[in-house]
Amino acid sequence: MIPISYFWIIEYSDGSALPQFDPETGKENKINLDNAVRISWNPITPQVKIADEHIVKDYDLFGKRVVVDIKEGEEPILYRENHRKFSPTLDDQTHIVKYVIGKKKGDVEFKVVIEKEEIRIW
């Protein structure tokens, strides 16, 4: 299971939007950044339906939505990284999730990173 605290929404030039999780089934949608005009990481609240392969450890009710507008000629950057660090005795582990959002034009990148840390005691 993957612990998550944020989910993405992609808005397109035709006015449509794609959330990371299907509102009906909770299943994860495949990311498609083609023709994106706005991308965002949004805090997960109890109203967001999420399928079983993900686990919500805590709701970030005070978290802020991070939004990046994409202009013509810019490439969106949107991904999540998961890292685990184990203690030397292996009796606990730290799970670090990084939510990265930004844009790139040529060699110039702009990124924002939200980092969440969870310590699990065995």
**Do the beta carbons of residue 39 and residue 8 sit within 8 Å?**
yes
Domain spans in the chain, listed from the N-terminal domain onward: 2-121
Q: Of 79, 87, 85, 92, which Cα lies nearest the Cα of 120?
A: 92
Residue 38's identity, in one-letter code, is R
User: Is pLDDT of 44 > 50?
Assistant: yes
Mean pLDDT score of the chain:
83
Choice between 1 and 9, residue whose per-residue pLDDT is larger: 9
Q: Of 18, 82, 79, which Cα lies nearest the Cα of 53?
A: 82
Q: Which of 7-16, 75-84, 86-95 has the lowest mean pLDDT?
A: 86-95
Name every residue whose Cβ is closer than 8 Å to that of residue 110 and which is 6 or more positions away in sequence. 68, 102, 103, 104
